[in-house]
Amino acid sequence: MFLEPLLTGITLGGMYALVAMGLTLQYGVARIMNLSYGEILVAAAFGVFWLFTAAGLNPLLGLAVVVPAALVISWLIYRILLLPLVRRAKTRDALEVDSILATFGLLFVVQGVMLVIFGGAYYSYSFLAIPVNVFGVTIAANRLLALAFAAVIGLGLYLGLTRTRAGTALRAVAVDPVSAQLVAIDVRSAAAIAFALGGGLVASGGVLVSMFLTFNANIGVVFTMKALIVVIMGGVGNMLGALVAGLILGLTETFVATWIDPGLTLAATYTIFLIILLVRPQGLFGRSGR
């Protein structure tokens, strides 16, 4: 009873890390606290579900359709809905509060649209649900595949952010938007790109999660909450922090569910969240002075 939850926990943690990386881009670079984040994940899951059941499209090919769509939609959301708030905000705190409230409304609209189309029922589809033996533990192939894809996407993002000029510019905005402007970085377009990238990441998370989890129109809030917790635990804007915190969360949930009680996973998550915040308010890898 140790290896199995360990493997499941790593898969789940990998998903959380991937999803949180997108949120840390949106919050760290674009300074938008996006409460409708999980809704994009669920929308992507429904999108790939629809492509798979209606058009017979392989979910991994669906990734190539859904993720670019999410990139474009997120970019539009930033340009149309959020830019007026950015212009209006006098301080960073004001923008944070305004973005929380606006994306809150967006959460309800997206959720409502999905409820009208799909209802409140749970959905899942069967894709590669073949048992595979890893180190003497049986695990479904779709989980392993999802984990592999999450690792590839995460690594690609990490390399893109650390090894390219554009990635460095994004990180510079995350560290200090005012100084970034001084070295000729267009902060607003960087913010729009980061917001779009975040949307693409969470959509890829949604596609991968839909391969092995059941989902419904109301579940987005849960993912938003967990992504936020991971981002804050890891330190805002820190990719490595998101990875470590995501794994911690995934492992904690799985072990609490198998060893103690599945009904207490959220309580465990919150306890860890609170402890980390009280001991290190800046997050595990965050810089102090925030």
Q: How many CA atoms lie within 13 A of 111 on its CB side?
A: 20
Q: Rank residues 4 and 96 by Cβ distance to another protein and give the closer one.
A: 96
Among residues 68, 156, 160, 281, which is the contact residue for another protein, using CB under 8 A? 281
d(CA 246, CA 18): 8
Q: Which of the residues 186 through 245 are near another protein (CB under 8 A)?
A: 221-222, 225, 228-229, 232
Q: Which of the residues 49 through 88 are near another protein (CB under 8 A)?
A: 81, 84-85, 88
d(CA 108, CA 95): 20
Q: Rank residues 84 and 160 by Cβ distance to another protein and give the closer one.
A: 84
Q: Does 182 bind another protein (CB under 8 A)?
A: no
Q: Does 289 bind another protein (CB under 8 A)?
A: no
Region of 1-9, 109-117, 125-133, 173-181 interacting with another protein (CB under 8 A): 109-117
**CA angle centred on 41, ends 233 and 65, rounded to 5°:** 130
Q: Does 274 bind another protein (CB under 8 A)?
A: yes
Q: Rank residues 181 and 282 by Cβ distance to another protein and give the closer one.
A: 282
d(CA 145, CA 267): 29
- Nearest Cα to Cα of residue 22 among 207, 231, 274: 231
- 192: tokens are 């729009």
d(CA 182, CA 180): 5
Q: Tokens 């789940």 label which residue?
A: 12
Q: Rank residues 128 and 213 by Cβ distance to another protein and give the closer one.
A: 213
- Residue 21 identity: M
- Residue 149 identity: F
- 194: tokens are 């980061």
Q: Does 100 bind another protein (CB under 8 A)?
A: yes
Q: Rank residues 72 and 266 by Cβ distance to another protein and give the closer one.
A: 266
Binding positions for another protein, rule: CB under 8 A: 33, 35, 81, 84-85, 88, 93, 96-98, 100-102, 104-113, 115-116, 221-222, 225, 228-229, 232, 261, 263-264, 266-267, 270, 273-274, 277-278, 281, 290
